[in-house]
Amino acid sequence: MEVFVQQLINGVTLGAVYGLIAIGYTMVFGIIGMVNFAHGDVFMISAFISLIVFMAITAVAGFSGGVVFLALLVALVVSMVITALYSWTIERIAYRKLRGSFRLAPLISAIGMSILLMNFVQVAQGARNKPIPPIMRDTINLFERNGFQVAISYKQVMIIAVTAILLAIFWYVVQKTPLGRAQRACEQDAKMAALLGINVDRTIAVTFVMGAALAAVAGTMFLTYYGVVVFSDGFVPGVKAFTAAVLGGIGSLPGAVLGGMLIGLIETFWSAYFSIDYKDVAAFSILAIVLIFMPQGLLGKPEVEKV
Amino acid sequence: MRAKSDPILRVENVTMRFGGLVAVNDLSFVAGRGDITALIGPNGAGKTTVFNCITGFYKPTVGRMALRHGNIDIDSHVEKLTDTSRDSLNGTGGSLFLLERMADFQVSARAKVARTFQNIRLFSGMTVLENLMVAQHNPLMVASNWTLGGLIGLKGFHNREKEAIETAKYWLEKTKLIDRADDPAGDLPYGDQRRLEIARAMCTGPVLLCLDEPAAGLNPKESLELNALLRSIRDDHGTSILLIEHDMSVVMQISDHVVVLDYGTKISDGTPEEVKNDPRVIAAYLGAEDETEVQEIEAEVGL
């Protein structure tokens, strides 16, 4: 029971990070039907930007509790802005021109962008792990039983809270604002949306920007949680988040979050109860099983065959 | 018929080629403001291609399409505008747009041309009301300060959104769809979907409404209701209508002006009466080679 609760907390935290990245995959797929393979690396870049900003601020202003919190906040905002700019640029130079061509072209371009970003960071930042000093180490003790202390750390509280708040804002934008309506309209029929006066190219660019901003939140959380980032960190979390998006039903926002949570929980529980070496095997096996029985994913809309 | 006295759209020498196929060949016509102009012709005559050119779906291979807002004089301004690289011009009394130079979304957003499709293209996963709200995207986007204002709930945005809902309500009542406002558009029966497409097009506030076979698949009662709706759009809202239609009862009853295409070429242009009695039109529709054959066929069917 104690172990279960503790792992539940850990799993939800990890799942929140995956979910945030998965939203970027799912939205871009929804609107242009393309898997943006560079999204994982955009996430990695955002973690680096946060790291640089955080280190710069704490180097100047010291390392007291208030400064750390403020530095994290500034790092988060700066990272969101710069990462969004990265993603906007990628869309502009690598995807937009290819939109009219055959389906695989933007996909290949995305893989190319992924490799490019990874190598760029490797060259610019070095190939070694980049750590930040341990921060926010305090925990809240929930209860203790059989000598096992169940605790939730401030970091975890922050990650879960920030994810929940951002999801709520994001959900509101997509459901209730004219921008969200335009995004959903482009998702269903971009040509028709254009004939109603919607600038489809701009709407797609905004989608990339929003996805990247959320990836930056995930990147900052990732950095805070693990305290370390390396140039290849875009790949595995990227693939996991993509898996989460597929598991939840690609194109569905709540699906992406649900998928992220599930992947996070499966991984954590598998590591705790069985073997940590096989945690990825477990996560991907469950994906395969779910897709066999529900090809559209958990919350995806079934493909309706039109006669 | 106000094509001469008060034109809204002037199509000049438009040709559209797809590889070796000439879909529209040197087509020129003028649509009058406040008129219902019907574009008719046998299947494959190039009518939908003309629509696709006007609404920015295609760029015509050759040709010019000038649309005016207000009372700007087309003749004296169009050459001047053509010589520049711009797509529009503001002059005394209004503005002039060259549609072939504009991107698809600008034809709707700036030139205010709206259209419907032969095969219905609603956002079927969105509700009926949302379909009409999407059509009012641009003013709402400005009012929401590109989403930021909408996010923090500014009063100006709320008011503008209320207005947009009122507009939507007005068109839903007019098309008798108000009871279905919160249903997914895809769940509506066929006839209702057709009317919803028209309502959505009208929510963009167009000066020119292009309807591609709005009566297709409607029963006689629905067809009559459609006639009344189109007349009301013309008379009460001053929106000019360009119409592709095969149902001659609709065309003859409500059009002010008819343009006939065959094999991409214009073969007749005039009032419904004039066109109805034009031997070339009859020949095209009946598949006759020349006038004597037309007379033979007419005698046969007792005309």
Interchain proximity B151–A169, CB inside 8 Å: yes
Average pLDDT over residues B207-221: 90
Quote the minimal CA–CA distance from B123 to chain A in Å: 6
Average pLDDT over residues A124-152: 84
**Which of A195, A200, A253, A296 is best to mutate for the B interface (most B CBs within 10 A)?**
A195
The contacts of residue A181 (CB under 8 Å, 6+ apart) are B126, B130, B133, B134, B137
The contacts of residue A85 (CB under 8 Å, 6+ apart) are none
Which residues from B are below 8 Å from A186, CB to CB?
Answer: none
Average pLDDT over residues B228-246: 91
DSSP B23: E
The contacts of residue B286 (CB under 8 Å, 6+ apart) are B294, B297
Interchain proximity B140–A178, CB inside 8 Å: yes
**Predicted pLDDT of residue B156:** 77
Average pLDDT over residues A187-200: 91
pLDDT, tens digit, 9 for 90 and up, residues B109-135 = 999 999 999 888 999 889 999 999 999
Interchain proximity A177–B151, CB inside 8 Å: yes
Classified by CATH at the fold level, domain B1-112+206-303 comes out as Rossmann fold (3.40.50)
**Predicted pLDDT of residue A183:** 92
Neighbouring C-alpha atoms within 13 Å toward the C-beta of A148: 10
**Which of A181, A186, A303, A304 is best to mutate for the B interface (most B CBs within 10 A)?**
A181
**Predicted pLDDT of residue B229:** 93
Interchain proximity B200–A199, CB inside 8 Å: no
**Predicted pLDDT of residue B158:** 83
**Separation CA A193–CA B57 (nearest Å):** 12
- pLDDT beyond 90 at A109: yes
- pLDDT beyond 50 at A225: yes
Express as a percent the part of chain B with pLDDT over 90.
Answer: 51
CATH number of A2-293: 1.10.3470
pLDDT, tens digit, 9 for 90 and up, residues B56-68 = 888 999 999 999 9
Looking at the partner chain, which of A169, A181, A192 has a beta carbon nearest the beta carbon of B137? A181
Q: Pick B303 or A14 by higher pLDDT.
A: A14
**Predicted pLDDT of residue B149:** 66
Enumerate the domain spans of chain A. 2-293
Chain A residue with Cα closest to B203 = A196
Average pLDDT over residues A241-249: 91
* In chain B, ranges of CATH 3.40.50.300 domains: 1-112+206-303
Quote the minimal CA–CA distance from A175 to chain B in Å: 10
- pLDDT beyond 70 at B289: no
Express as a percent the part of chain A with pLDDT over 90.
Answer: 52
Looking at the partner chain, which of A172, A178, A192 has a beta carbon nearest the beta carbon of B121? A192
**Predicted pLDDT of residue A307:** 45
Q: How high does pLDDT run on average in chain B?
A: 88
**Separation CA B31–CA B240 (nearest Å):** 8
**Predicted pLDDT of residue A52:** 95
DSSP A50: H
DSSP string, B193-235: HHHHHHHHHHHT--SEEEEESTTTT--HHHHHHHHHHHHHHHH
Q: Pick B243 or A300 by higher pLDDT.
A: B243
**Predicted pLDDT of residue A306:** 46
Interchain proximity B141–A173, CB inside 8 Å: no
Q: How high does pLDDT run on average in chain A?
A: 89
Looking at the partner chain, which of B109, B133, B150 has a beta carbon nearest the beta carbon of A197? B109
pLDDT, tens digit, 9 for 90 and up, residues A34-59 = 899 999 999 999 999 999 999 999 98
**pTM exceeds cut of 0.80:** yes
- pLDDT beyond 70 at A305: no
The contacts of residue A204 (CB under 8 Å, 6+ apart) are A31, A32, A91, A96, A186
**Which of B108, B123, B167 is best to mutate for the A interface (most A CBs within 10 A)?**
B123
pLDDT, tens digit, 9 for 90 and up, residues B144-180 = 776 676 667 677 788 888 899 999 999 999 999 999 9
Average pLDDT over residues A294-300: 84
**Separation CA B55–CA B51 (nearest Å):** 6
Interchain proximity B147–A178, CB inside 8 Å: yes
Average pLDDT over residues A184-203: 91
The tokens 């705790």 sit on which residue?
A272
Alpha helices per DSSP H over chain A: 2-32, 39-61, 65-90, 104-125, 154-176, 178-195, 200-226, 235-248, 253-273, 279-293
**Predicted pLDDT of residue B146:** 66
**Predicted pLDDT of residue B301:** 66
Chain B residue with Cα closest to A201 = B105
**Separation CA A32–CA A118 (nearest Å):** 24
Which of the residue ranges A175-184, A207-216, A251-260 has the most confident prediction, judged by mean pLDDT? A207-216
Here the tokens at position A248 are 């939840």
**Separation CA A248–CA A258 (nearest Å):** 6
